[in-house]
């Protein structure tokens, strides 16, 4: 590569990286914890399942009977789904299509149903710290759609930074990978670590940049298609993409008896081996034109992307359509499922989750090291003092906001365990207020050494108290959880003990004299 091209790519890599650095750190840090969303949710609510369940296992007829006691179901479309490995299932009731129905029945409803107690919870009540961290990694806390678009554009520019980063190292990509000089000056250490860890994490980061941009910017990418291919009919486009189903008209002829929906679920399970049910759609409940659609997927070890579906006509007991997950996976299914599988890392158990978590933290380190390299490169005598002060203040703010996430997250784990009433509002207020306070404290310290060391030290100390708080409050000490096969509770406790031990060790390895390269660490 000639010098001019190298300079262009280098500056593009630097500018794109600096612009998105803080937002990208939040995405990767929160996203790393989001791999354990289900474990965190069950640990918080103390609703551990003794064994890992796959798909919907509860009797659907029992669920429908329970719902009928509260809601008039005739003429409604009912969707029952299970997206996560929890006791609860999602229930979505459409407004009744019956024009003679009561005003109450003409209102839709969405809630979660506990499959053990049959208690229902709205979204606010069932909100967990796992859900919060999962949604934080794509900025869902920012009003829709701005948070989604922001995370999507960050992912897009991150993809740009990854490609330009590879290009500027291309000529020496092998030799630079093996170079590490731990006794050199700090900028050299940061540069070596940034290059080596960046190359190690490149495939992981590339996949998440592509899939993240796809998920969050899909609405923008789809907008031209709505107008040019579907004449502005958004519903039709979503039907063809199989994100929603075509609404069915009501015949106004009530069935004398409602047949068992569970038998259709059982029949679908028995049709294919290792097939688990994920969604059940009931169209026009109680009507002559009532249809039941049962969807699911094969065991991920059996087939990476194998979605199946059978649609039944209730009045005739006939199968209207059938999609074999072994042989009839469409191109559309393949694309969507592969992207989801790659992004969520849910196809290879805990081993892949742990590896993905570690790669996510490595990505956080690459981001931080890139920012510090940028600062040192601009802390030269020929640069005006005013610009140097501004650069140091900017980096101090970046690092303070990023690293204060660790103690804030650890403290939030204890908070949701101490306060069992913790709902969406509580988690929002607690997390963001603590994050703001810690960020301000670290910024006021004006020392990169202090921020790095004490963020890790404080987070580690709090992290050690997480399994202790769980044991005191619930009695589920990690050794007891292990003996009783409560693996999710055991995993979260051990996870924090290991993570806190590592970060505590790292905090003690940080030496103040290492930061003399930053011209006294102070921004003033």
Looking at residue 172, its pLDDT comes to: 65
- Tokens 């790669």 locate to 359
Looking at residue 252, its pLDDT comes to: 85
| CB count in 10 Å sphere of residue 318 | 9
Cβ contacts of residue 263 below 8 Å, gap of 6+? none
Residue 519, token pair as written in the block: 């011209």
Looking at residue 513, its pLDDT comes to: 59
Cβ contacts of residue 64 below 8 Å, gap of 6+? 73, 78, 258, 261, 285
| Cα torsion 390, 394, 399, 401: sign | positive
Looking at residue 283, its pLDDT comes to: 93
Alpha carbons 407 and 395: distance in angstroms, whole number:
19
Alpha carbons 407 and 188: distance in angstroms, whole number:
28
**Dihedral angle at the C-alpha atoms of 419, 421, 424, 427, nearest 10 degrees?**
-10
Alpha carbons 431 and 162: distance in angstroms, whole number:
31
Alpha carbons 515 and 190: distance in angstroms, whole number:
11
Q: Which residues make beta-bridge pairs with 89?
A: 113
Exposed (0-12), middle (13-18) or buried (19+): which is 200, by Cβ within 10 Å? middle
Looking at residue 226, its pLDDT comes to: 59
Rg from Cα positions in the chain:
26
Helix, strand or coil, per DSSP, at residue 387: helix
DSSP string covering 268-302, please?
HHHHSTTEEEEEEEEESTTBTT-EEEEEEEE-TTT
- The enclosing H or E element of 199 equals helix 186-200
Alpha carbons 70 and 72: distance in angstroms, whole number:
7
Alpha carbons 520 and 523: distance in angstroms, whole number:
8
Beta strands 109-114 and 88-93: pairing type?
Answer: antiparallel
| CB count in 10 Å sphere of residue 37 | 22
**CA atoms within 13 Å, Cβ hemisphere of 454:** 14
The domain limits of the chain are 3-48+133-183+349-518, 60-124+215-343
> Could you say which DSSP state residue 50 is in?
S
Alpha carbons 167 and 368: distance in angstroms, whole number:
20
Looking at residue 345, its pLDDT comes to: 79
Question: Measuring CA to CA, how many Å separate 121 from each of 176, 279, 423, 425?
Answer: 54, 19, 11, 15
DSSP string covering 221-247, please?
HHHHHHHHTSTT-HHHHHHHTTSS---
Looking at residue 241, its pLDDT comes to: 63
Taking the chain (524 residues) in runs of 10, the rounded mean pLDDT of each run is 69 74 94 93 77 76 88 91 86 90 87 88 89 94 90 91 81 63 64 78 90 82 62 64 72 87 93 90 92 89 81 92 84 76 80 92 90 81 83 90 97 94 93 97 88 94 96 92 89 96 90 56 40
Alpha carbons 25 and 406: distance in angstroms, whole number:
11
Looking at residue 184, its pLDDT comes to: 60
- Axis crossing angle, helix 385-403 with helix 349-377, rounded to the nearest 10: 160
Exposed (0-12), middle (13-18) or buried (19+): which is 101, by Cβ within 10 Å? middle
> Could you say which DSSP state residue 475 is in?
S
């Amino acid at each position: 590569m000639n010098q001019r091209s190298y300079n262009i790519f280098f500056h593009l890599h630097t500018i794109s990286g600096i612009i998105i650095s803080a937002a990208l750190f939040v995405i990767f840090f929160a996203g790393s914890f989001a791999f354990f969303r289900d474990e965190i949710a069950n640990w918080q609510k103390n609703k551990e399942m003794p064994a890992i369940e796959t798909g919907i296992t509860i009797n659907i007829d029992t669920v429908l009977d329970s719902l009928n006691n509260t809601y008039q179901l005739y003429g409604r479309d009912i969707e029952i789904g299970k997206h996560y490995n929890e006791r609860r299932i999602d229930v979505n009731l459409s407004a009744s299509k019956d024009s003679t129905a009561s005003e109450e029945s003409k209102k839709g409803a969405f809630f979660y149903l506990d499959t053990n107690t049959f208690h229902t919870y709205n979204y606010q009540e069932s909100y967990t710290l796992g859900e919060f961290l999962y949604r934080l990694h794509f900025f869902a806390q920012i009003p829709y759609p701005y948070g989604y678009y922001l995370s999507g554009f960050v992912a897009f520019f991150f993809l740009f930074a990854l490609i330009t980063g590879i290009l500027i190292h291309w000529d020496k990509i092998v030799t630079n990978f093996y170079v590490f000089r731990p006794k050199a000056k700090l900028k050299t250490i940061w540069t070596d670590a940034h290059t080596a860890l960046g190359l190690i994490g490149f495939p992981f980061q590339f996949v998440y940049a592509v899939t993240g941009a796809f998920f969050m910017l899909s609405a923008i990418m789809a907008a031209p298609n709505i107008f040019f291919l579907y004449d502005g009919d958004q519903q039709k486009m979503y039907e063809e993409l199989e994100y929603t189903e075509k609404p069915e008209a009501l015949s106004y002829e009530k069935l004398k008896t409602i047949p068992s929906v569970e038998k259709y679920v059982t029949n679908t399970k028995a049709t294919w081996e290792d097939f688990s049910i994920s969604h059940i759609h009931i169209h026009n409940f109680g009507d002559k034109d009532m249809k039941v659609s049962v969807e699911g997927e094969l065991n991920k070890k059996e087939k990476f992307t194998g979605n199946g579906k059978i649609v039944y006509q209730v009045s005739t007991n006939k199968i209207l359509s059938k999609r074999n997950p072994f042989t009839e996976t469409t191109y559309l299914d393949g694309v969507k499922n592969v992207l989801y599988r790659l992004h969520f890392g849910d196809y290879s158990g805990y081993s892949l989750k742990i590896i993905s978590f570690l790669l996510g933290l490595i990505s956080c380190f690459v981001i931080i090291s890139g920012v510090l390299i940028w600062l040192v490169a601009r802390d030269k005598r020929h640069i005006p003092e005013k610009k140097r002060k501004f650069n140091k203040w900017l980096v101090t703010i970046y690092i303070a906001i990023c690293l204060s996430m660790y103690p804030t997250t650890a403290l939030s784990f204890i908070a949701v365990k101490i306060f069992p009433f913790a709902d969406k509002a509580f988690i929002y207020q607690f997390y963001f207020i603590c994050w703001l306070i810690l960020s301000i404290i670290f910024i006021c310290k004006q020392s990169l050494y202090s921020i790095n060391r004490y963020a890790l030290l404080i987070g580690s100390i709090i992290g050690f108290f997480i399994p202790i708080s769980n044991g005191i409050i619930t009695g589920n000490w990690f050794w007891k959880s292990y003996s009783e096969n409560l693996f999710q509770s055991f995993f979260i406790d051990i996870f924090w003990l290991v993570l806190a031990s590592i970060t505590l060790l790292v905090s003690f390895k940080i030496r103040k004299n290492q930061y003399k390269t930053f011209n006294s660490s102070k921004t003033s």
